[in-house]
Structure 1
Amino acid sequence: MSKKTMVIDLIRERRSVFPDSYSSEKISKEELEILLEAANWAPTHKRTEPWRFKVLRGKSLEKLGAFLAAKYVEVVEKPKQFKINKLKENPTKAGAIIAICMQRDEKEQLPEWEEIAATAMAVQNMWLCCVEMGLGAYWSSPRLISYMDEFFDLNKGEKCLGFFYVGKYSSPIPAIERGSIEEKTVWL
């Protein structure tokens, strides 16, 4: 039996794995459901559970890429062809993309940043599960995110914060260094 993995080990192993590193191997609905269930257990002040997700797979990835490329051409004064290609192709390299959305509390009982923070914690839960499951993941918040209400049917008070790309990969991801926590901590 292998040594039990501790959460701190998963945290240290978490990396952004970008779409160019993904294989063409599919992500199953069951795998995605595990990620979403993990997200649902994020901490949330006043139990507002502000996270909302839209899962894109298959043809919807192509549609997202086409939308992003077309919107870029529409809103940028001098669009660059390499950027158009990247916006169009990157979504199709993912096994799935989970659109990260936040539903603002109707009563606005909390500052918006707390709802965004809770949604980010939900994403971190998914990301740590990806590490444990051997999946690559990457949170992208392109400038075009502010136009996603034209692509998704968002509820009143709901906004898209980014895309969580998920894919299978085989190439090793390089280790990273972090500065010392002592440099970032003041003990009183």
Structure 2
Amino acid sequence: MTSPLSPDAAGILNTIIRSRRTVKPEFFTGEDVPRPVLEQLLENATWAPTHKKTEPWLFKVFQQKALERLGNYLADHYRAHTPADKFSAVKEQQNREKPLRCAAVIAICMRPPAADLPEWEEIAAVACAVENLWLSMTAYGLSGYWSSPAAMTEGAEFLELQPGERCLGIFYLGHAPVQDTVRRRAPLAEKVKWVTE
């Protein structure tokens, strides 16, 4: 088998895939990520597979002072939409503070699907783009967390989305100390059936 990539490329890719972690923003340091790095991460995201080359993803990146505005929106939405018997002042404050620990928070949005395409294919394409983003972040030593709070999936007005566009959640991005978490997957034999005839 030949490849235009270096002989080490497969090994590097295997390591990156197995090193990807979900890290919640409370573990982030608040350290900045340079704009060119963020642009490279998002560029890599856009190389995800997409049916009929529709590229349905749309990313809205919150940084700097906009992180405070996002935190206030998340906290206010939580307060306004949580029944009194389930409301927690601690959770409200956590919603307000989470974005402030991040280098950036990316709203993962999707343009409306074409009439001849099922919506699930466009959602799958956006999810592939997020995985590209996540793997690229791992290669840069960054951490991330994809969350889908109602504040964002119902946040078309806050995000200034156009008719038909929708938000599939937000991606918290930042620096976090290396975590020695043990990750496991069930054996491949439990999940694969080889069909040869």
Partner of 2:166: 159
Partner of 1:148: 155
Aligned residues: 185
Question: Is 1:92 the counterpart of 2:100 in the alignment?
Answer: yes
Superposition CA RMSD, Å: 1.4
Partner of 2:112: 104
Change (3 A) 1:173 1:21: farther
- Matched letter for residue 122 of structure 1: A
Runs of 5+ in structure 2 lacking a partner? 1-7
Partner of 2:3: none
Q: How do residues 162-173 of structure 1 correspond to structure 2 at under 5 angstroms?
A: 162-173=169-180
Q: Distance in 2 between the 1:129 and 1:96 partners?
A: 15
Q: How far has the Cα of 1:173 moved from its partner?
A: 4.1
Question: Is 1:135 the counterpart of 2:142 in the alignment?
Answer: yes
Which SS does the other structure have where 1:118 is aligned? helix
User: Deviation digits for residues 3-48 of structure 1, max 9, x if unmatched?
Assistant: 6552122111111011122112111111100111001100000111
Which consecutive aligned stretches of 4+ in structure 1 deviate over 6 angstroms post-superposition? none
Q: Distance in 2 between the 1:183 and 1:174 partners?
A: 23
Q: Tell whether the 8 Å contact from 1:21 to 1:171 is kept in structure 2 after alignment.
A: no
Which SS does the other structure have where 1:138 is aligned? strand
Q: Tell whether the 8 Å contact from 2:156 to 2:166 is kept in structure 1 after alignment.
A: yes
User: Deviation digits for residues 70-101 of structure 1, max 9, x if unmatched?
Assistant: 11111111221111011111111111011100
Between stretches 152-161 and 4-13, larger displacement belongs to: 4-13
Partner of 1:73: 79
Q: Distance in 2 between the 1:124 and 1:29 partners?
A: 20
TM-score, scaled relative to structure 1: 0.93
Q: Tell whether the 8 Å contact from 2:31 to 2:102 is kept in structure 1 after alignment.
A: no
Between stretches 142-151 and 177-186, larger displacement belongs to: 142-151
- Max radius of gyration: which structure? 2
Q: Percent identity?
A: 43
